[in-house]
Amino acid sequence: MLADLLFLLFGGTLLLAGLGVITARNPMYCVLFMVLAFVNATALFVLLGAEFLGLLLLMVYVGAIAVMFLFVIMTIDIDFAVLKEGFATYLPIGALLAALLLIELIAAIKGGLFSGVATTPSEISDKPDIIRIGEVLFTDYALPFQLIGLILLVAMVGSIVLTHRRRPEVKRQDVAAQIARKKEDSMTMTSPKAGAGVRKSLFNPKNVEK
Protein backbone atom coordinates (compact mmCIF):
# COMPACT_ATOMS: atom_id res chain seq x y z
CA MET A 1 0.00 0.00 0.00
CA LEU A 2 2.83 2.32 0.90
CA ALA A 3 4.53 1.07 -2.24
CA ASP A 4 1.49 2.19 -4.27
CA LEU A 5 1.67 5.64 -2.73
CA LEU A 6 5.39 5.88 -3.46
CA PHE A 7 4.79 4.62 -6.99
CA LEU A 8 2.27 7.40 -7.56
CA LEU A 9 4.71 9.95 -6.15
CA PHE A 10 7.75 8.85 -8.19
CA GLY A 11 5.78 7.97 -11.32
CA GLY A 12 3.95 11.28 -11.24
CA THR A 13 7.14 13.26 -10.75
CA LEU A 14 8.75 11.24 -13.55
CA LEU A 15 5.97 12.17 -15.97
CA LEU A 16 6.03 15.83 -14.95
CA ALA A 17 9.81 15.93 -15.32
CA GLY A 18 9.54 14.27 -18.73
CA LEU A 19 7.01 16.90 -19.75
CA GLY A 20 9.41 19.54 -18.45
CA VAL A 21 12.23 18.19 -20.64
CA ILE A 22 10.29 18.84 -23.84
CA THR A 23 8.49 22.03 -22.83
CA ALA A 24 11.10 24.05 -20.91
CA ARG A 25 12.38 27.02 -22.91
CA ASN A 26 15.78 27.12 -21.26
CA PRO A 27 17.97 24.17 -22.40
CA MET A 28 19.62 24.12 -18.97
CA TYR A 29 16.22 23.43 -17.38
CA CYS A 30 15.66 20.64 -19.94
CA VAL A 31 18.77 18.79 -18.81
CA LEU A 32 17.99 19.29 -15.13
CA PHE A 33 14.44 18.00 -15.69
CA MET A 34 15.97 15.00 -17.42
CA VAL A 35 18.16 14.36 -14.38
CA LEU A 36 15.06 14.56 -12.18
CA ALA A 37 13.35 12.04 -14.48
CA PHE A 38 16.32 9.66 -14.19
CA VAL A 39 16.37 9.93 -10.41
CA ASN A 40 12.66 9.13 -10.24
CA ALA A 41 13.15 6.18 -12.62
CA THR A 42 15.82 4.92 -10.22
CA ALA A 43 13.32 5.15 -7.39
CA LEU A 44 10.81 3.15 -9.45
CA PHE A 45 13.42 0.45 -10.15
CA VAL A 46 14.20 0.24 -6.43
CA LEU A 47 10.48 -0.06 -5.64
CA LEU A 48 10.32 -3.02 -8.03
CA GLY A 49 13.23 -4.69 -6.25
CA ALA A 50 15.72 -4.10 -9.08
CA GLU A 51 18.19 -2.06 -7.02
CA PHE A 52 21.19 -2.81 -9.22
CA LEU A 53 19.51 -1.63 -12.41
CA GLY A 54 18.28 1.50 -10.66
CA LEU A 55 21.67 2.44 -9.26
CA LEU A 56 23.28 1.64 -12.62
CA LEU A 57 20.86 4.07 -14.25
CA LEU A 58 21.84 6.71 -11.72
CA MET A 59 25.57 6.08 -12.14
CA VAL A 60 25.68 5.87 -15.93
CA TYR A 61 22.98 8.29 -17.05
CA VAL A 62 23.00 10.86 -14.27
CA GLY A 63 26.66 10.54 -13.26
CA ALA A 64 28.13 10.54 -16.74
CA ILE A 65 25.83 11.08 -19.71
CA ALA A 66 23.67 13.91 -18.35
CA VAL A 67 26.85 15.66 -17.13
CA MET A 68 28.13 15.58 -20.72
CA PHE A 69 24.81 17.04 -21.92
CA LEU A 70 25.16 19.78 -19.34
CA PHE A 71 28.70 20.50 -20.52
CA VAL A 72 27.60 20.80 -24.13
CA ILE A 73 24.72 23.09 -23.26
CA MET A 74 26.86 25.22 -20.98
CA THR A 75 29.66 25.69 -23.48
CA ILE A 76 27.80 25.90 -26.80
CA ASP A 77 25.54 28.84 -27.46
CA ILE A 78 22.41 27.19 -28.83
CA ASP A 79 19.61 29.45 -30.02
CA PHE A 80 16.55 27.39 -29.19
CA ALA A 81 14.19 29.96 -30.66
CA VAL A 82 15.61 29.12 -34.11
CA LEU A 83 15.41 25.39 -33.43
CA LYS A 84 11.76 25.67 -32.43
CA GLU A 85 10.71 27.68 -35.49
CA GLY A 86 9.59 24.65 -37.48
CA PHE A 87 7.38 23.39 -34.67
CA ALA A 88 4.05 24.18 -36.34
CA THR A 89 5.01 22.76 -39.73
CA TYR A 90 6.16 19.44 -38.32
CA LEU A 91 3.32 19.18 -35.79
CA PRO A 92 0.96 17.07 -38.01
CA ILE A 93 3.66 14.44 -38.74
CA GLY A 94 4.65 14.29 -35.07
CA ALA A 95 1.05 14.00 -33.95
CA LEU A 96 0.44 11.22 -36.50
CA LEU A 97 3.48 9.28 -35.25
CA ALA A 98 2.41 9.71 -31.63
CA ALA A 99 -1.13 8.52 -32.44
CA LEU A 100 0.23 5.47 -34.31
CA LEU A 101 2.49 4.58 -31.35
CA LEU A 102 -0.42 4.91 -28.95
CA ILE A 103 -2.63 2.65 -31.12
CA GLU A 104 0.17 0.06 -31.36
CA LEU A 105 0.66 0.15 -27.60
CA ILE A 106 -3.06 -0.30 -26.93
CA ALA A 107 -3.23 -3.13 -29.48
CA ALA A 108 -0.24 -4.85 -27.86
CA ILE A 109 -1.78 -4.63 -24.39
CA LYS A 110 -5.21 -5.78 -25.63
CA GLY A 111 -3.54 -8.60 -27.54
CA GLY A 112 -2.13 -9.93 -24.28
CA LEU A 113 1.53 -9.28 -25.04
CA PHE A 114 2.35 -8.46 -21.43
CA SER A 115 -0.12 -10.79 -19.70
CA GLY A 116 2.24 -13.70 -19.10
CA VAL A 117 5.26 -11.58 -18.26
CA ALA A 118 6.41 -11.15 -14.68
CA THR A 119 6.17 -7.53 -13.62
CA THR A 120 8.59 -7.57 -10.70
CA PRO A 121 11.99 -9.27 -10.47
CA SER A 122 10.97 -10.98 -7.23
CA GLU A 123 8.38 -13.00 -9.16
CA ILE A 124 11.16 -14.80 -11.04
CA SER A 125 13.41 -15.72 -8.12
CA ASP A 126 14.47 -14.32 -4.74
CA LYS A 127 18.15 -13.87 -5.57
CA PRO A 128 19.34 -10.23 -5.76
CA ASP A 129 19.05 -8.89 -9.29
CA ILE A 130 22.80 -8.33 -9.60
CA ILE A 131 23.41 -12.09 -9.26
CA ARG A 132 20.68 -12.97 -11.73
CA ILE A 133 21.95 -10.47 -14.29
CA GLY A 134 25.48 -11.80 -13.86
CA GLU A 135 24.31 -15.39 -14.27
CA VAL A 136 22.66 -14.82 -17.65
CA LEU A 137 24.99 -12.10 -18.90
CA PHE A 138 28.10 -14.27 -18.75
CA THR A 139 26.47 -17.56 -19.85
CA ASP A 140 23.49 -17.33 -22.22
CA TYR A 141 24.23 -13.82 -23.45
CA ALA A 142 28.03 -13.91 -23.27
CA LEU A 143 28.50 -13.48 -27.03
CA PRO A 144 25.98 -10.62 -27.51
CA PHE A 145 27.47 -8.94 -24.42
CA GLN A 146 30.96 -9.09 -25.90
CA LEU A 147 29.67 -7.90 -29.26
CA ILE A 148 28.00 -4.89 -27.71
CA GLY A 149 31.27 -4.05 -25.97
CA LEU A 150 33.12 -4.33 -29.27
CA ILE A 151 30.58 -2.16 -31.09
CA LEU A 152 30.85 0.51 -28.40
CA LEU A 153 34.65 0.39 -28.63
CA VAL A 154 34.52 0.75 -32.42
CA ALA A 155 32.10 3.68 -32.08
CA MET A 156 34.41 5.35 -29.58
CA VAL A 157 37.53 4.85 -31.65
CA GLY A 158 35.65 5.95 -34.78
CA SER A 159 34.46 9.20 -33.24
CA ILE A 160 37.96 9.96 -31.96
CA VAL A 161 39.50 9.25 -35.38
CA LEU A 162 36.89 11.44 -37.09
CA THR A 163 37.31 14.43 -34.80
CA HIS A 164 40.99 14.24 -33.94
CA ARG A 165 43.35 16.36 -35.96
CA ARG A 166 47.05 16.96 -35.49
CA ARG A 167 47.81 20.59 -34.84
CA PRO A 168 51.51 21.23 -35.43
CA GLU A 169 51.36 24.69 -33.87
CA VAL A 170 50.49 23.27 -30.45
CA LYS A 171 53.43 22.87 -28.10
CA ARG A 172 53.20 19.42 -26.59
CA GLN A 173 54.41 18.48 -23.15
CA ASP A 174 56.97 15.68 -23.20
CA VAL A 175 56.89 14.47 -19.62
CA ALA A 176 59.72 11.96 -20.06
CA ALA A 177 62.02 14.67 -21.45
CA GLN A 178 61.04 17.03 -18.64
CA ILE A 179 61.84 14.48 -15.99
CA ALA A 180 65.03 13.27 -17.68
CA ARG A 181 66.45 16.82 -17.66
CA LYS A 182 69.41 17.10 -15.34
CA LYS A 183 70.93 20.11 -13.62
CA GLU A 184 74.06 19.90 -15.83
CA ASP A 185 72.01 20.20 -19.05
CA SER A 186 70.64 23.61 -18.30
CA MET A 187 72.83 25.26 -15.73
CA THR A 188 76.46 26.39 -15.62
CA MET A 189 78.04 27.50 -12.39
CA THR A 190 80.37 30.48 -12.75
CA SER A 191 82.34 32.63 -10.39
CA PRO A 192 82.64 35.99 -12.16
CA LYS A 193 85.44 38.36 -11.21
CA ALA A 194 84.48 41.67 -9.71
CA GLY A 195 83.63 44.18 -12.47
CA ALA A 196 83.89 41.55 -15.24
CA GLY A 197 80.17 40.83 -15.53
CA VAL A 198 78.41 37.48 -15.69
CA ARG A 199 77.63 37.41 -19.40
CA LYS A 200 81.25 37.70 -20.45
CA SER A 201 82.48 35.10 -18.02
CA LEU A 202 79.72 32.68 -19.14
CA PHE A 203 80.90 32.75 -22.72
CA ASN A 204 84.51 32.29 -21.81
CA PRO A 205 85.02 28.58 -21.15
CA LYS A 206 88.11 29.32 -19.08
CA ASN A 207 86.01 31.00 -16.41
CA VAL A 208 83.58 28.10 -16.08
CA GLU A 209 84.18 26.16 -12.94
CA LYS A 210 83.43 22.48 -12.92
Partner 1 sequence: MDFLTQYLGLITLDNITYVALTLFYVLLIALPLLGAVAYLTYAERKIIGWMQLRHGPLYTGLWGLGQPIADAVKLMFKETTIPLESNKIIYILAPMMVLVPALISWAVIPFDNTWVLADVNLGVMYLLAVSSLGVYGILMAGWASNSKYPFLGAVRSGAQMVSYEIALGMCVMCVILLAGTMNMSGIVTAQTKLWNFIPLFPIFIAFIISILAETNRAPFDLPEAEAELVAGYNVEYGSMPFAMFFLGEYANMILMSAFTVVLFLGGWLPPFDVALFNAVPGLVWFAAKIALVLFIFLWTRATFPRFRYDQLMRLGWKILLPFTLIWFVGQALVMKLMETM
Minimum CB distance to partner 1 smaller for 63 or for 94: 63
- Residues 78-117 close enough to bind partner 1 by CB under 8 A: none
Cα-only R_g, the chain:
31
User: Which alpha helices (H) appear in the chain, and where do they start and end?
Assistant: 2-23, 27-47, 51-57, 66-75, 80-83, 87-110, 129-137, 142-163, 175-180, 183-186, 198-203
Quick check: 70 and 38 in contact, CB under 8 A?
no
- Nearer Cβ to partner 1, position 37 or 201? 37
Q: Which stretch binds partner 1 (CB under 8 A): 66-74, 91-99, 145-153, 183-191?
A: 66-74
**How many Cβ atoms from other residues are within 10 Å of residue 45's Cβ?**
21
Nearer residue to partner 1 within complex by CB, 71 or 145: 71
DSSP letter at 117?
S
- Using the rule CB under 8 A, which residue among 9, 16, 19, 28 binds partner 1? 28
Task: Determine the interface stretch with partner 1 among 12-20, 67-75, 108-116, 132-140 (rule: CB under 8 A).
Answer: 67-75
7 binds partner 1 (CB under 8 A): no
Rounded Cα distance between 53 and 129, Å, is 8
Indicate which single residue of 32, 34, 41, 47 sits in contact with partner 1 (rule: CB under 8 A).
32
Question: How far is the C-alpha of 69 from the C-alpha of 21, rounded, in Å?
Answer: 13
Please select the residue that binds partner 1; options are 63, 94, 144, 149, rule is CB under 8 A. Answer: 63
Residue 5 or residue 93: which is nearer to partner 1 going by CB? 5
Give the whole-angstrom CA distance, residue 30 versus residue 83. 14
Residue 5 touching partner 1 (CB under 8 A):
yes
Nearer to partner 1, 126 or 209 (CB): 126
| Choices 25-33, 144-152, 185-193, 197-205; region in contact with partner 1 by CB under 8 A | 25-33
SS3 (DSSP) at 165 = coil
Closer to partner 1 by Cβ: residue 14 or 38: 38
Cα-based distances in Å from 41 to 38, 54, 174: 5, 7, 46
Q: Which stretch binds partner 1 (CB under 8 A): 51-59, 147-155, 156-164, 188-196?
A: 51-59
Contact by Cβ (8 Å): 192, 174: no
Q: Does 72 bind partner 1 (CB under 8 A)?
A: no
Q: Which of 6, 21, 24, 130 binds partner 1 (CB under 8 A)?
A: 130
